[in-house]
Amino acid sequence: MVTDTKRPSDNEKITSTEFVTASVLATPGQAVITAPLILELRKRNATNRKYSRGTRNSQRLALGVSKAAYRVSNSFAEGFWSFAERSDNSAHNRRDGMVRDSLRNGSKGIEKGFNELGKAPGEITRRISGRTVWRTFRMFTF
């Protein structure tokens, strides 16, 4: 009798490299044969974004600004969600726990929010090339 530890169906997608072992169950006195089957996925090639001539920097900057705006709004959501979860846990743990732990819960929520907020400027600066900054600097100084 042949058994597989993992047998994906035709519709199921394999998301990472998985090791599937197949084994043959033998009767007493016979050897058990085990052979590993290694499935590897072909990765799709990453395609670069396409820009019209002269619009690359402005489009990259706009993408950075939109991702930074997402980070800012997400930082508020992350902070308030952390505060709400911690306050709920405090209320379940002891009487008036939400009130007693409100400063600690608030500071943890602010910490998580600022941690996410601190990533926003990097989204913009990552998209500006050094060459563009240098050309702008030279134009204003010379």
- How high is the pLDDT of residue 85? 92
Structure confidence by residue, pLDDT tens digits, 67-80 = 999 999 999 999 99
Alpha-carbon distance of 6 to 12, in angstroms, equals 12
**In this structure, are residues 113 and 76 in contact, taking their beta carbons and an 8 Å threshold?**
yes
Alpha-carbon distance of 4 to 40, in angstroms, equals 17
- How high is the pLDDT of residue 20? 46
Q: Which of 17, 21, 16, 18 is nearest to 3 (CA)?
A: 21
Q: Which run of H or E residues covers position 87?
A: helix 56-93
Give pLDDT < 70 ranges for the chain: 1-34, 142
The domain segmentation of the chain, as residue ranges, is: 2-6+15-39, 56-141
142: tokens are 């010379």
Alpha-carbon distance of 49 to 62, in angstroms, equals 14
- How high is the pLDDT of residue 141? 80
Burial of 130 by CB count in 10 Å (0-12 exposed, 13-18 middle, 19+ buried)?
exposed
Give residue for tokens 């997608």: 13
Question: Helices 56-93 and 102-117, interaxial angle, to 10°?
Answer: 170
- How high is the pLDDT of residue 79? 92
Instruction: Please give the distance of CA 140 from its chain centroid, rounded to a whole number.
Output: 40
- How high is the pLDDT of residue 83? 92
Question: In angstroms, how far apart are the furthest CA atoms of the chain?
Answer: 90
Q: Which run of H or E residues covers position 20?
A: strand 18-24
